[in-house]
């Protein structure tokens, strides 16, 4: 039994204009895994923050749902979303969490992501499940000792975007983005020119990533903001080839 959790990237292919959950065009990775003969439950939801993703997995287990399944949950694929959603007023996340904003420095995104990874590790250890991390709208970090730092969690696709475009899931430099509202929110909390420059570099990352999606419609249209079914098929094939899906 496989669980998938994430934000909108975990849901699959989105239409050009979205007006309701029944309009998802293709179930993405979950669909392909199911077609391969495995049972899948997809907990992904558009707009989720990383803390929302953690909460969705935690609630699945504490509800006892896993105890009533015909198969034991062995693997959870997690589509990492944008780090700033954990505090951003521009998202629908349940936790409006500003605790990790201080100190406000260039490690801010790493603090939020590390907290997310530690949370996944706790779930992995508590419920004896393997958690496999996918960089969706945003790339994951990469550490040579990732599995030692976050037991039970491993990065199986650092960058879904780079996998589609360049046939390589690894990137030399991770793309960490930020929304304009979240960027303005941070800029209003600092006078440090170094921090302001860092925030502006994140905005540049956001624009660069959108340009990549625009330039590769075969993988990122019709809506131009998510991988489509062809992109998800490439991810599925890659995970099969690397034996991350058994």
For the chain, 246 residues long, give each residue's pLDDT as a single digit of tens: 999 999 999 999 999 876 666 689 999 999 999 999 999 999 999 999 999 999 999 999 999 988 888 899 999 999 999 999 998 655 444 455 667 788 899 999 999 999 999 999 999 999 999 999 999 999 999 999 999 999 999 999 999 999 999 999 999 999 999 999 899 989 999 999 999 999 999 999 999 999 999 999 999 999 999 999 999 999 999 999 999 998
Gap between the Cα atoms of 97 and 140, Å rounded: 20
CATH of the domain at 178: 3.40.50
DSSP state of 13: B
Domain that holds residue 115: 2-241
Q: Assess if residue 145 is contained within a domain.
A: yes
**Is residue 171 included in any domain, yes or no?**
yes
Flag whether 167 is in a domain. Answer: yes
pTM comes to 0.95
End-to-end CA gap in the chain: 11
Cα separations in angstroms, 243 against 11, 132, 156, 169, 238: 22, 12, 10, 15, 8
Residue 141 lies in a domain: yes
| Inside any domain, residue 246 | no
Q: How many domains would you assign to the chain?
A: 1
Examine residue 179 and state whether it is found in any structural domain, yes or no. Answer: yes
185 occurs within a structural domain: yes
């Amino acid at each position: 039994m496989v669980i998938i959790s994430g934000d909108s990237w975990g849901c699959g292919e989105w239409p050009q204009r979205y007006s309701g959950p029944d309009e998802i065009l293709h179930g993405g990775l979950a669909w392909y895994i199911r077609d391969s003969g495995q049972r899948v439950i997809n907990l992904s939801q558009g707009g989720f923050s990383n803390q929302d993703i953690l909460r969705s997995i935690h609630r699945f287990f504490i509800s006892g749902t896993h105890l009533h399944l015909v198969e034991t949950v062995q693997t959870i694929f997690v589509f990492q979303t944008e780090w700033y959603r954990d505090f951003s007023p521009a998202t629908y996340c349940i936790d409006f969490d500003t605790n990790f904003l201080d100190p406000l420095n260039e490690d801010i995104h790493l603090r939020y992501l590390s907290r997310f990874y530690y949370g996944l590790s706790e779930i992995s250890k508590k419920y004896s499940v393997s958690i496999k991390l996918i960089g969706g709208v945003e790339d994951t970090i990469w550490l040579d000792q990732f599995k030692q730092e976050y037991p039970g969690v491993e990065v199986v696709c650092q960058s879904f975007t780079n996998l589609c475009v360049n046939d390589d899931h690894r990137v030399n430099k991770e793309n960490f983005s930020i929304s304009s509202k979240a960027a303005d929110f941070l800029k209003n909390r600092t006078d440090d020119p170094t921090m302001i420059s860092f925030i502006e570099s994140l905005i540049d990352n956001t624009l660069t990533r959108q340009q990549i999606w625009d330039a590769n419609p075969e993988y990122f249209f019709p809506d131009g903001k998510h991988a489509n079914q062809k992109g998800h098929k490439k991810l599925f094939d890659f995970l099969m080839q690397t034996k991350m899906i058994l």
